[in-house]
Amino acid sequence: MVSGANDSKTPPIVSLTAGGVAGGIEAFTSYPLEFAKTRVQLRSQKGIPTPKNPFLVVTRVYQKEGIRSLYKGCAALVVGSIGKDGVRFLFFDQIKHAFADPQTGTLSPLRNLAAGMTAGVVASITCVTPTERIKTALIDDARNEKRFRSGLHATSVIWKEHGILGLYRGFVGTTLKQASATAFRLGTYNILKDFETTRNIPQNTATNFANGSVAGIVTTLCTQPFDVIKTRSQSAHGMSTAEAVKSVLVDYGIKGFWKGTTMRLGRTVFSGGILFTSYEAAVKIISPLYSGLTHMVVAETLD
């Protein structure tokens, strides 16, 4: 699990499963804010200014395009989040345990960040980049050509037109974002939890949610430029990382790299709390089931 010494024996399968469950819940519940943030970061249509208020973006899309458009790309994000959070919780836990102090079971702040960064790179390679590409392409396509009927159809079209590289468009920006975001999110959360553990602060739902929210704020402010570059790279037609950087500078200047910060901040504070609270709850449910199943298998083997 993501906490300190008491979690050193959490089985990998529990970390993977609990992370996947938490990621799916977090992605679905916070998707409207993710949708609004992505719309703002994509290039504006001429003569149609994009509002900065995320709730106004969501309201306008709902009124003009309907609820289906508002959740365009949601399935891709949920699937990606299940894989992403399962993988990054798994790798973070294993790396964290490998570098933890043998006496206290905790890590230094730098080792916490390093463990999170490594987990983020693995998650980006295995599942995040292609699913983020599909999600972003669907959101961009919904406001323009409307040629993608679903996530599977978008995957098929992109594959036929650009091959495997088309699904990994924006890989550099996504990996930079995932490495830094996972480092700051999991690292900050674990630092806070280790601090609380050493001072006997009770770990409950409210504490988990608060820690996750703080981790979300730190993550957003530190990694927003990577998120903007990733979104531009993964638009419906796609562009290279260099082209994405140039387009942001041309459109908005340096400040453009923090485009959508307010919207993403609202989502990450909310989703960070949900993610870690769901993860802790899932571990508490899955661990006993896993232990019982393991003991049952061992007993049957001995018989």
Instruction: Write out the two tokens for 285.
Output: 């449910």
Residues 121, 279, 259, 45, CA torsion sign: positive
- CA-only gyration radius of the chain, Å: 20
In which residue ranges of the chain is pLDDT below 70? 1-9, 43-54, 104-105, 298-303
Query: What pLDDT does residue 4 have?
Result: 42
Q: What gap in Å lies between CA 73 and CA 139, rounded to an integer?
A: 6
pLDDT by residue (tens digit) across 74-100?
Answer: 888 888 889 888 988 888 878 777 777
CATH code of 43's domain: 1.50.40.10
Instruction: Write out the two tokens for 52.
Output: 């900065």
Q: Which range marks the domain in which residue 239 is found?
A: 5-302
Query: What pLDDT does residue 140 have?
Result: 84
The DSSP element (H or E) to which 22 belongs, if any, is: helix 12-29
Instruction: Write out the two tokens for 9.
Output: 């024996």
Which value, to the nearest 10 degrees, does the dihedral of the CA atoms of residues 98, 102, 107, 112 take? 0
Which value, to the nearest 10 degrees, does the dihedral of the CA atoms of residues 238, 241, 246, 251 take? 50
Place of tokens 């500078």: 249
CB contact set of 156 (below 8 Å; sequence gap of 6+): none
User: Is the distance from CB of 3 to CB of 287 less than 8 angstroms?
Assistant: no
Per 3-state DSSP, the chain is made up of helix, strand and coil in percentages (nearest 5) of 80, 0, 20
Which backbone phi and psi does 32 adopt, to 5 degrees? -55, -40
Which value, to the nearest 10 degrees, does the dihedral of the CA atoms of residues 279, 197, 106, 186 take? 30
Query: What pLDDT does residue 112 have?
Result: 79
CA distance between the termini of the chain: 33
How many domains, in total, are found in the chain? 1
Query: What pLDDT does residue 281 have?
Result: 92
Of 207, 211, 213, nearest to 269 (Cα)? 213
Query: What pLDDT does residue 192 have?
Result: 92
Residue 159 burial by CB count (10 A; 0-12/13-18/19+): exposed, middle or buried?
Answer: middle
